[in-house]
Amino acid sequence: MAVIKAAILGFGTVGQGIYHILNEKREALREKLGVELEVAKILVRDTSNERIPGTQHLLTDNIDEVFAEKGMQVVFEAIVNEEPAFSYLKQAIENKCHVVTANKVMFAKRGLELQTLAKQNGVFVGYEATVAGGVPVIKTLKNILLVNDVSCIQGILNGTTNYMLTKMRKEGWSFEEALLEAQRLGYAEADPYNDISGQDAFKKLMVLSDLAFGEQPAWAEVEVIGVDTISAEDVKVATEQGMRYRHVAEVERQADGKIVGKVAPMLVDREHPLFPIDDVFNAVAIDTNYIGTLTVTGPGAGMYPTASVMVEDYAEIIGKRAGFVVTI
Ligand SMILES: NC(=O)c1ccc[n+]([C@@H]2O[C@H](COP(=O)([O-])OP(=O)(O)OC[C@H]3O[C@@H](n4cnc5c(N)ncnc54)[C@H](OP(=O)(O)O)[C@@H]3O)[C@@H](O)[C@H]2O)c1
C-alpha cells in the first residue's frame, strides 16, 4: 500500500496526542483513506527526552533532517510562538508538503500568508486546532460561508477563564482562588498572563476574522480587556440579576464594511447563546443571514481534543488530494 510520510514538529501535549491517535487509528485511517501514514521524523529541542517509548529513533532537533527525509508529504506543527514555526511551515509548503498546525500565535499573524503560499504550491493548510481546540468551528464556518454571509462572531475562546468565571459564580470563589484552582488542575499555565489578559482569545479571534471576513481589524484598534477586571462581588450581583459574566471575543462587520473586534468580559442574559456554556468549555456563536445564529460548543483544549481535529485535518486533506503523489 502507498505510504505517506509525515513529520511532527513539537512533541509536547499536542504533538504526543497526534502520535497516539495516528497509532490508535492506524487501521481505520488506512481503510478510509487507502494510504498508510508513517511518522518519519519528530522535531523537538531536547532529543535526550524520549517521551513515548519507541520514538527515540524518530527524534531530531534539526529541521534540515526533517526536510531531508525523502518523500515527506505532511507536516504537523505543534510548537510554540511565531518563530521558528512560521519559517518551518513556509519551508514545508515550498517543499510541497501539506501542513496542519495548532499554533494560534503564529497563525493569527501569518495564517493568510501561509494559505496564499500553499495555494501557489498546490498544497493544503489545516488549522482547525488553532481555534477552540476540539470544537469544529473552522470546518463549520467554511461550510456556512459557501452560502451565508457572516455578520458577527462571538466566542468563549479560552477555557481557563471560563472555568474561573464559572467557579466564581457557582462556588463564590474570589478571582485569586479560582486562578489557583485552575493552575492546580493544569488548565492555566504557571504564567497565566495570556489567558487572563485576553491575549490568547484575541489570537484565536483574529484567525476567525481572517476566515469569516478575509481580513482582520487593525490589532491596535482591538480593545482587549482581561477577566481580572471582574470581582467576586461583580459576579454575585450579576447572578442575583439572572445574568452571567462571560469573557467574550467578538468580531463583526459594521454597516460601513469596517471590521471591528473586542475581547472583554460581557454580561449575558439567559437568552444569549453563550449563557449556558460553563467550566472549561468553549463556544462560538456565528450570526449569519440565512441560518440565523448558529452556536458550536465543546472542549477548547487538551491533548486528545486538539490532536483529534489535527488528524481530521490530515484525513480531509488526503481525501481532497485523492490523486496526489505518494511514495511506495
Ligand atoms: N495544549 C493544548 O491544549 C493546545 C490546544 C490548542 C492549541 N495548542 C497549541 O499547540 C502548540 C503546542 O502546544 P503544547 O501544549 O503541545 O505545547 P508543549 O507541551 O509546551 O510542547 C511544545 C513542544 O514543542 C517543542 N518546541 C518548542 N520550540 C521548539 C523549537 N524552536 N524547535 C523545536 N521544537 C520546539 C518542545 O520541545 P521540547 O519538548 O524538547 O522542549 C515541545 O516538545 C502551541 O502553539 C499551542 O498554542 C495547544
- Domain harbouring 201, CATH code: 3.30.360.10
58 CB-near residues (< 8 Å, 6+ apart): 39, 40, 41, 42
12 lines ligand 1 (CB under 6 A): yes
Please state, in angstroms and rounded to a whole number, the distance separating the CA atoms of residues 268 and 23. 43
- Based on the fold, state whether residues 159 and 296 are members of the same structural domain: yes
325 lines ligand 1 (CB under 6 A): no
- Based on the fold, state whether residues 142 and 177 are members of the same structural domain: yes
187 lines ligand 1 (CB under 6 A): no
Please state, in angstroms and rounded to a whole number, the distance separating the CA atoms of residues 213 and 144. 13
Residue in this structure with the C-alpha cell 458550536, named with its chain if needed: 296
Question: What percentage of the chain carries pLDDT values higher than 90?
Answer: 95
CA of 162 to the centre of ligand 1 (A): 22
For the annotated catalytic residues, the residue numbers are: 204
- Based on the fold, state whether residues 251 and 208 are members of the same structural domain: yes
- Based on the fold, state whether residues 178 and 255 are members of the same structural domain: yes
7 lines ligand 1 (CB under 6 A): no
- Based on the fold, state whether residues 92 and 12 are members of the same structural domain: yes
118 lines ligand 1 (CB under 6 A): no
| Residue 328 counted as domain residue | no
| Residue 327 counted as domain residue | no
CA of 103 to the centre of ligand 1 (A): 8
**296-317 confidence digits (pLDDT tens):** 999 999 999 999 999 999 999 9
| Residue 326 counted as domain residue | no
80 lines ligand 1 (CB under 6 A): yes
| Residue 51 counted as domain residue | yes
60 lines ligand 1 (CB under 6 A): no
Does the pLDDT at position 326 exceed 60? Answer: no
| Residue 103 counted as domain residue | yes
Residue ranges of the annotated binding site for NADPH are 104
Tell me which of 44, 52, 76 to substitute to probe ligand 1's pocket, judged by most ligand atoms within 8 Å of the beta carbon. 44
Mean pLDDT of the chain: 95
Q: Which residue has its alpha carbon closest to ligand 1 atom 27?
A: 79
Number of compact structural domains in the chain: 2
**188-225 confidence digits (pLDDT tens):** 888 899 999 999 999 999 999 999 999 999 999 999 99
Does the pLDDT at position 37 exceed 60? Answer: yes
CATH number reported for the structural domain that contains residue 115 in this entry? 3.40.50.720
Q: What is the pLDDT of residue 322?
A: 56
Q: pLDDT band for position 320 (50/70/90)?
A: confident
Please state, in angstroms and rounded to a whole number, the distance separating the CA atoms of residues 248 and 208. 14
- Based on the fold, state whether residues 168 and 281 are members of the same structural domain: yes
Query: Closest ligand 1 atom to the C-alpha of 302?
Result: 3
CA of 89 to the centre of ligand 1 (A): 15
CA of 142 to the centre of ligand 1 (A): 26
Q: Which residue has its alpha carbon closest to ligand 1 atom 30?
A: 45
**133-191 confidence digits (pLDDT tens):** 999 999 999 999 999 999 999 999 999 999 999 999 999 999 999 999 999 999 988 88
259-268/281-288 β-pairing? unpaired
CA distances from 316 to 19, 129, 144 (A): 18, 14, 17
**245: which strand partners?**
267
- Look at 107 and 319; give whichever has higher pLDDT: 107
C-alpha cell at 131: 481555534
C-alpha cell at 219: 490589532
Its domain, for residue 82, covers 3-134+304-320
CA of 140 to the centre of ligand 1 (A): 26
SS3 for the chain is CCEEEEEEECCCHHHHHHHHHHHHCHHHHHHHHCCEEEEEEEECCCCCCCCCCCCHHHEECCHHHHHHCCCEEEEEECCCCCCCHHHHHHHHHHCCCEEEECCHHHHHHHHHHHHHHHHHHCCCEECHHHCCCCCCHHHHHHHHHCCCCEEEEEEECCHHHHHHHHHHHHCCCCHHHHHHHHHHCCCCCCCCHHHHHCHHHHHHHHHHHHHHHCCCCCHHHCEECCHHHCCHHHHHHHHHCCCEEEEEEEEEECCCCCEEEEEEEEEECCCCCCCCCCCCEEEEEEEECCCCEEEEEEECCCHHHHHHHHHHHHHHHHHHCCCCCCEC
Please state, in angstroms and rounded to a whole number, the distance separating the CA atoms of residues 247 and 199. 12
Q: What is the pLDDT of residue 324?
A: 47
Q: Which residue has its alpha carbon closest to ligand 1 atom 21?
A: 12
**256-288 confidence digits (pLDDT tens):** 999 999 999 999 999 999 999 999 999 999 999
Question: Average pLDDT for residues 33-43, to the nearest whole number?
Answer: 96
Q: Which residue has its alpha carbon closest to ligand 1 atom 45?
A: 103
Q: What is the pLDDT of residue 237?
A: 98
